[in-house]
Structure 1
Amino acid sequence: MKVLKWILIVLAVLSLLFFFVLSPYMRTQTKKHSPETTVVYTKNGMDLSVTYSSPSKKDRVIFGELVPYDAVWRTGANEPTTFSTANDIKIAGKNLPAGTYSLWTRPSRQSWSVIFNKNIPEWGVTILSGGKETTRVLEEDVVEIEIPTEQIAETVENFTIDFDQQKELYMRISWDRTRVKVPISK
């Protein structure tokens, strides 16, 4: 009984060390390579923000290799990207109520699925899968749309999300030589 008690104490101490020391340290280290960025749009009666971690291309083949085609991606690095809206809006004509959502994508060669999900997990992928499986909770999807990809002339070194207001407002997702433009309206 004494041995079992000591084993449980050691496991408890190791667990606490992981959650309070190792986990915060790992997050700090990953942010050095993929810095966290927030973009904001506050015009035309809309109050939007996107927070994401921005990895670099670093001479890698991004889509189809680093980011596999036809698999759900956390859309950035580290924690899942979050999209917040203070107002009810429409994403490509589909209603998205005010709130904060995790943003996921499923890139393919010709188009991407863009997914807004009510659940915001702590990390975007499972550690045991080596980063290949996301922590998205499928049942919490609120809006999913299909957006065609655009091939762009200039290589975008750092993964970027921004807002582009022309005749219509778009949330643009750009990396390498690929861009998708998600239409947003009231």
Structure 2
Amino acid sequence: MKRIYFNLGIAFVFSILFLTDAGAQEFRDLDASPHDIVYFRTNKISPPKIKVLYGRPKKNGREIFGNVIPFGKIWRVGANEATEVVFYNDVVFGETEVKAGTYVLYAIPDQNEWTLILSSNTDVWGTYEYEEKYDVARTTAKVSKAEFLEAFSIGFKDKGKHINMVLAWDTTRITAPIKIIL
């Protein structure tokens, strides 16, 4: 008789656990700007030379540059956590030699030219912890125009000895010159 009650008790507990949402993960508040990763490799089977982890906000009909992202103010380059760039080799970013490692990429957008900044202060959210004293490199990049992109995107163009990291959103394009030191 004790065994019957024990088995009924176990069945009751399991039915409660499996027939209810107790312990189920809620996914109602998924991130509107999910993160993405882009790699630069010299060929499809080589180890990566550069990795970028960034948030991908969407335009959603908004005026982005000069409005959502004001001109002349520091921007995290993407959404949510600040964009992280990993260099697996020493590089030249703009005109500055940068050691292999992980950095945060910030920008100061303007209408015709952006200042791009690599910071050694990593694992930060947005620009709240940005401090100039952690700047490792700064370079400027001209603004160009191209086809419309709904979601902010980062990609690479291989130019032989140089690589261009391209930041793209709406019709705005920014190109950061990078040279890998081998």
Q: Normalising by structure 1, what TM-score? A: 0.75
Q: Determine the C-alpha separation between the residues in 1 that align with 2:167 and 2:40.
A: 15
SS in 1 for 2:133: helix
Q: Is the 8 A contact 2:150 2:169 kept in 1?
A: yes
Q: Deviations over 1:43-92 (max 9, x none)?
A: 28861100000000001000000000000001110100000011111012
Output the CA distance in 1 between the equivalents of 2:92 and 2:100.
10
- Aligned pairs for 1:26-175 within 5 A: 29=29, 32-43=31-42, 47-125=49-127, 134-152=128-146, 154-167=147-160, 168-175=162-169
Q: State the number of aligned residues.
A: 151
Q: Which runs of 5+ in 2 are unaligned?
A: 1-25
Q: Residue 40 of structure 1 aligns to which amino acid in structure 2?
A: Y
Give the superposition deviation at 1:113.
0.3
Q: How far has the Cα of 1:120 moved from its partner?
A: 1.3
Q: Deviations over 1:118-151 (max 9, x none)?
A: 00143114xxxxxxxx321211000011111111
**Partner SS state of residue 66, structure 1:** coil
Mark the structure with the bigger radius of gyration.
2
- AA partner of residue 176 (structure 2): V
Range with bigger deviation, 86-95 or 161-170: 161-170
CA distance in 2, matches of 1:41, 1:121: 21
2-structure distance, mates of 1:33, 1:46:
28
| Percent identity over paired residues | 31
Superposed, which structure 2 residues align to 1:11-30 within 5 Å? Answer: 29=29
Counterpart-to-counterpart distance in 1, 2:131 and 2:122: 9
Q: If each structure's helix is expressed as a fraction of its own residues, which one has the higher value? A: 1
Please identify runs of 4+ aligned residues in structure 1 that moved more than 2 A.
none
Q: Quick one: distance in 1 between partners of 2:113 and 2:124? A: 28
**Matched residue type, 2:142:** P
- Structure 1: tracts of 5 or more residues without a match: 1-24, 126-133
